[in-house]
Amino acid sequence: MKNRIVLFYVIILFCFVIASTTWADLSSTKPEDVGLSSERLARIDKVLTADIEKGMIPGAVVLVARHGKIAYFKSFGMRDQEAAAPMKKDSIFRIASMTKPITKVGIMILHEQGRFFLSDPISKYIPELGNLKVGVESTDSATGQTTFTTVPSKREIRIQDLLRHTSGLTYAFFGKSKVKSMYKEAGVGRLDESLKELVEKLGKLPLAYQPGTTWHYSRSPDVLGYLIEIVSGSSLDRFFEENIFRLLQMNDTGFYVKEEKLDRLATSGPNAKWPSRDVSTLPKLLDPGRGLVSTTRDYARFLQMLLNGGELDGVRFLGRNTVEYMTVDHLGKTIPKTGPYYFPGPGHGFGFGFAVREYPGISDLPGAVGDYWWQGSQGTYFFVSPREDLFAIFMSQANDFAKLMRYHKLTKILVMQAIVD
């Protein structure tokens, strides 16, 4: 009798594992069944194969889904050139800033629970970020000499500012300014420091801009990650696992790659402009802006959830109205949308983690009003088109921003031209 009971539970467990594995896959279909042209999608193959042969990138994975089904999913080139290992569909990538939309979904999960208002000053939860100064540089036109001083901030950073990159915080790795130099000197973002230590450093440094006045790509998501930890009472990795990854069956997504999965990790190749960070162990810094690794299929499930209005496979993560709120412009007409470091680009506003298309034209890429996208500096990109009920993902590990922009543009062009209905 005892053996029968054990056998019964083994069978139940086996069925659960099989069901979970099936549940984790979006179903596949022929492109023509969802209004796409196989012949036109094959242009992706031609372009990527040629670029890989030229040595422009080691390899890539591309996925296109429409009407809830995968219509195109292929791998190209090498996952690891030195090991002569081919790229596969389940290869794992450092997704860099494609971490940010996940962090902002985490914030909105807590917001839907009534845990805070987006108009709240962040100092209400993180006192270290109250009463900050703003750095001001001025250049004498006669001598060319630059002076630096600080002035009081005109208002506090609000949670909404952190979601839309109008906090006044910055990154140190692009552009030049005194504040950016101070970030470098302070070692902001070291992997051997915690989120708490990172935020404490930010509290001792001046802002680059007055809060609420300028879109500037920054460490705002790092502060949001720390806010998640404070409000939820959980570490960021555990919060993501329990509230997003496990429920979405994003089984290969996290802040590091487990030992048994390291042979699936994509590398940047010998021609990369900067080295890839080590992801073989869990870092002390759980970077909410750039720290996750993931697979194409995992991220596809995340995007399908958003495209469905916050739900996938009967599990609801966010309300439809919340997703719509996140994927519209939050800059309005008062915050400039120009300049060399306005990464959303012409014709786009910015929501909570996404560049959002505002006009049919102006942009140098095809698309529809309401399309939203983002990318990761190590070679990853996605876009979502609610009008077309479609999304696409490009995954590589190029570690070269110029190459990333090439494949960002190519992915959008080659996918949009394949829509034929």
CA angle 26, 32, 36 (to 5 degrees): 80
240 plus 389 within the same structural domain: yes
277 plus 385 within the same structural domain: yes
**What's the distance, Cα to Cα, between the start and end of the chain in Å?**
60
The last residue of one of the domains, among 210, 231, 252, is: 231
What backbone phi and psi angles, to 5 degrees, belong to 9? Answer: -70, -30
Any domain includes 10: no
Any domain includes 349: yes
203 plus 271 within the same structural domain: no
Residue 125 CB-density burial (10 A; 0-12 exposed, 13-18 middle, 19+ buried): middle
Strand 315-316, strand 348-350: pairing: unpaired
Any domain includes 64: yes
58 plus 74 within the same structural domain: yes
The last residue of one of the domains, among 231, 248, 267, is: 231
Any domain includes 188: yes
Any domain includes 239: yes
212 plus 124 within the same structural domain: yes
CATH number, domain with residue 400: 3.40.710.10
87 plus 204 within the same structural domain: no
Q: What is the pTM of this model?
A: 0.90
248 plus 373 within the same structural domain: yes
Q: What does the pLDDT profile of the chain (421 residues) look like in tens digits?
A: 545 544 444 444 444 444 444 345 789 999 999 999 999 999 999 999 999 999 889 999 999 999 999 999 999 999 998 889 999 999 999 999 999 999 999 999 999 999 999 999 999 999 999 999 999 888 777 777 888 888 999 999 999 999 999 999 998 877 678 888 889 888 898 889 999 999 999 999 999 999 999 999 999 999 999 999 999 999 999 999 999 999 999 999 999 999 999 999 998 866 655 566 789 999 999 999 999 999 999 999 999 999 999 999 999 999 999 999 999 999 999 999 987 789 999 999 999 999 999 999 899 999 999 999 999 988 999 999 999 999 999 999 876 777 778 999 999 999 999 999 9
Any domain includes 81: yes
DSSP three-state, residue 416: helix
pLDDT per residue over 151-210, tens digit each? Answer: 999 999 999 999 999 999 998 877 678 888 889 888 898 889 999 999 999 999 999 999
158 plus 227 within the same structural domain: yes
195 plus 266 within the same structural domain: no
The Cα–Cα gap between 380 and 91 comes to 13
DSSP three-state, residue 397: coil
Q: What is the DSSP letter of 219?
A: S
**Cα 32 to the center of its chain, rounded Å:** 30
> Structural domain tally of the chain?
2
Any domain includes 66: yes
pLDDT of residue 175: 67
Any domain includes 319: yes
253 plus 400 within the same structural domain: yes
pLDDT of residue 161: 97
171 plus 207 within the same structural domain: yes
Tokens representing 161 are 């500012």
CA angle 347, 351, 352 (to 5 degrees): 155
- The domain of 62 spans 26-99+235-416
The last residue of one of the domains, among 231, 246, 272, is: 231
195 plus 207 within the same structural domain: yes
The Cα–Cα gap between 340 and 175 comes to 9
